[in-house]
A and B are shown apart, each in its own frame.
Chain A
């Protein structure tokens, strides 16, 4: 079905809903690479105006990626909760924006609505929202998850401690874990991207983290970010797997390029749940996503990258994850060209995830071949802090020496807590105070050379 929008004497024609969505998307290099972006600034706004008049219901009858050939579309439409959708079922996309920003759309109302919203609806409304709208609406969405602590409570923000090392060296990883803990980071997860996909190496890393968590009774969880099949294999060997990780995307084909499908994710989730390693909850999955992955795999079906990213959150929410994060600037300038595009995408991803009920964190990051720098990351971090982001990454000095990109540092986390008064997960906050790492106000205490964590790492490195 074609959509037409008139501005004065000009008619803008969009062949179908997919084309309308793509042309309404704020400009980014990935959609240009795919050849689906608006040709002019005026066409971009005409598409937004046209999209604002589309009924939300249209997304239930017009699949952007075919139902017959994509299991992600089937998951989204088959699990749609019509009762939850009822309060907004008569709205257009434009009405829905007005509603989200109204005082009537409280945290409770939005939480009730989430199962009735599809990723495409979230993506559509985000396209006609300004950055401040994305911040305000996301701030109202609350998604709380639990494993060994409670993540996502209002007024809190968690940090993933990311102690990567270029050769997975145990002493090097331990040193970075120590650095992060003594800077008050690690409540979301202590999560390592391994350089190797060797089972014995990954098992050693899991044991290393399990030991430090157990020894110091840290209320947090660990994860080695390896393929779900590897985690399943490790669990079968009896390795201490807390969270099962997987990169996911918004189409069946893109997921196939990651070597996964929904059935495999379900197997991973079942295996993790069976271990029952959580103490205050059993949200045991950790997913990563990022705009552009479907196009990168040649599996985008002509759909814009932001909509496909929202569909990845549709996949994530089916498995009750503890954490989901968009690695927003990692993919490179061919998808998000510069700081402006990365900032916009980070806010869109966070809003869409939260609206859909997913515990969304953001890897505020960029690569050295993108037109971006630390100033852009400071801006995005501050905006996301204001938007109530679930968690960010914490990397020594913001420099990931294994993955070769720049993200946020332990210092950045302290900065945003200082500026916005954000607390850590309560169990972790209490642990830091108990360990004499922080004062009751959450600020770091002067570091003590006799701290038991230092002795522990020194002993292990010897």
Chain B
């Protein structure tokens, strides 16, 4: 009854659900149930509470100082309905950052839970470990790493402005997919100020072991930061040409000249 697809071997090239077979025009029973399970797991991932203490501990273990902030969204259900609240700091956190700000720095680094705490829990430490050598190599000054709960991408604008950063790097848990409930996104914004639009940012997406590797993502981010600081811009005007610097298709561990 089930028509199998003779190209199942190509599944090794993609996580996409190819060669599922069919009964008539429809999915076989196994596939319908497999999909339902994946959806159930992704739904659960959205609602996993953010372990900010655990993440702060991991970041500290890499040698970074940390600061803790919260957005203006008081609870997860309100966070989901009110993205505007997730883009701004609560009053207390605004005061915390104003008090913590020192001299101007090159970078503000923000770790934001976004729509997948699972992604932040899994990917923050290995990504920052891969990225740290680039900070040292380029001599970028930076503020303590800000661990932000209830946060959307634009929260980085307010954080970056308060910390007097030339650019803001924000790590965020991306919206969970069926096959990737723990994907990390990286957003870079030059001259962070409240009111920046998404067209003024660069995004590196799908950072996770089965997606863009930590090493490749760290290299790409470092390339973007260097270009952003040099050209004083991020967003649609800053096109990603970092791939031109790949060595045999692999990301170099440090930025070369040029």
Contacts and interface: CB of A to CB of B under 8 A. Distances in A.
A174 B212 CA distance: 19
A342 B241 CA distance: 38
A7 to B, nearest CB: 30
A176 interface: yes
Interface string B9-39: 0110111111110101111000100011011
Contacts of B4: 447
B18 A198 contact: no
B53 to A, nearest CB: 24
B215 to A, nearest CB: 13
Interface stretch (B95-103, B127-135, B160-168, B169-177): B169-177
Interface in B202-244: 205-206, 210-212, 235-236, 239-244
Contact of B176 (A397, A404, A446): A404
Given A182-B7, A374-B39, A166 B180 contact: yes
Interface in B28-56: 31, 35-36, 38-39, 42-43, 45-46
A175 B20 contact: no
B91 interface: no
A277 interface: no
A446 B3 CA distance: 7
B212 A195 contact: yes
Contacts of B15: 166, 172, 401
B6 A297 contact: no
B178 A201 contact: no
A399 B16 CA distance: 7
A333 B81 contact: yes
Contact of A461 (B10, B42, B206): B10
Nearest to B16: A396
A167 B206 contact: yes
A200 B24 CA distance: 41
B92 interface: no
A369 interface: yes
B239 A368 contact: no
A33 B81 contact: yes
Contact-residue bracket for chain A: 35 or more
A458 B13 CA distance: 11
Nearest to A184: B25
Contact of B211 (A167, A176, A179): A167
A56 B220 CA distance: 53
A118 interface: no
A215 to B, nearest CB: 17
A365 to B, nearest CB: 12
Contact of B10 (A198, A402, A443, A457): A457
B222 to A, nearest CB: 15
Interface string B140-165: 00000000000000000000000000
A294 B13 CA distance: 38
B18 A396 contact: yes
B80 A401 contact: no
A409 B25 CA distance: 11
A414 B179 CA distance: 24
Given A179-B7, A196-B243, A415-B25, A368 B14 contact: no
A107 interface: no
Interface stretch (A121-129, A252-260, A319-327, A427-435): A252-260
B206 A169 contact: no
A273 interface: no
A200 B244 contact: yes
Given A374-B36, A461-B13, 19 more contacts: A166-B180, A172-B14, A174-B10, A175-B14, A175-B16, A176-B18, A179-B18, A196-B240, A198-B242, A227-B236, A256-B199, A334-B80, A368-B176, A397-B27, A401-B179, A411-B22, A411-B27, A447-B3, A454-B6
Q: Nearest 8 A-B pairs (CB), nearest first?
A: A397-B17, A404-B177, A172-B14, A414-B25, A259-B199, A449-B6, A175-B10, A259-B236
Interface of B: 3-7, 10-11, 13-20, 22, 24-27, 31, 35-36, 38-39, 42-43, 45-46, 80-84, 115, 174-180, 183, 195, 197-199, 205-206, 210-212, 235-236, 239-244
